[in-house]
Amino acid sequence: MTESCCCPPEAGNSVCDLPAQDFQRPPRAMNSCPECGKTGKLVQGQTIKSLLSISLRQVQDTKYFFCRTQTCSVVYFSADGEQTFTVEQVREKVYQKEPKAEDVFICYCFRHTVGELLSASPEDHIAILDNINTGINTGRCACDLRNPQGSCCLGNVRNMINQLEKPAFEGT
Ligand SMILES: [Zn+2]
């Protein structure tokens, strides 16, 4: 199974966490979340606009970053740190903020929840990954518009499945 991002541009591959095969990523921005201090991940403008539940009049012509810190209520913050959008101002529950909530989506495009993965067998896990990969390969995904992180969910899904299928004696 390849660990690189094979998503098309419309799936947000320019801001994907997975290493891209032939995409030259811009130098890493060291912008840190004004709330928790951790480095955020650049998101595209359309991600902010489609995910916010508040008036888009508040969105400025600047770069925005996604904060993945679970305990931090900030989801997006502006490059200058002056503006923050919190979980209450986002239309979707954010997987990174509530990774244990059964009804939170881990794959927003094809509607797979944490609860579904938790109750799925190893065979089901393969089927879910196949379903996501097929969806991506046939251009059905819109991770930049659906997923609050603004990029494809495959890294999160694979990580969660790896954790679930780890033999118990290796567990933490
Ligand atoms: Zn934060």
Q: Read off the pLDDT band of 118 (50, 70, 90).
A: very high
Cα of 131 from ligand 1 centre, angstroms: 32
Distance from Cα 82 to the centre of ligand 1, integer Å: 13
Q: How many whole angstroms from 58 Cα to the centroid of ligand 1? A: 19
Average the pLDDT over 5-11 and give the result: 67
Residue 45 has a pLDDT of 96
Task: Label residue 13 by pLDDT band (50, 70, 90).
Answer: confident
Of 48, 130, 58, 126, whose CA–CA distance to 90 is shortest?
48
From ligand 1's centre to the CA of 61, what distance in Å? 21
Q: How far, in Å, from the CA of 6 to the mean position of ligand 1?
A: 28
Which tops the pLDDT comparison, 11 or 42? Answer: 42
In tens, the pLDDT along 128-140 reads 999 999 999 999 9
Q: How far is the CA of 98 from the centre of ligand 1 (A)?
A: 14
**pLDDT for the residue numbered 27:** 47
The whole-number pLDDT of residue 2 equals 44
Distance 87 CA to ligand 1 centre (A): 11
Q: If you measure from the C-alpha of residue 120 to the centroid of ligand 1, how many angstroms do you get, rounded to a whole number?
A: 31
Rounded average pLDDT over 119-132:
96
Report how far ligand 1's centroid is from the alpha carbon of 14 (Å).
22
**C-alpha–C-alpha distance, residues 12 and 152, integer Å:** 7
Q: Is the pLDDT of residue 32 over 70?
A: yes
- In whole numbers, what is the pLDDT of the chain averaged over residues? 89
Cα–Cα distance for residue pair 109/29, rounded to 1 Å: 27
pTM, full prediction: 0.82
Q: How far apart are CA 135 and CA 112, in angstroms?
A: 12
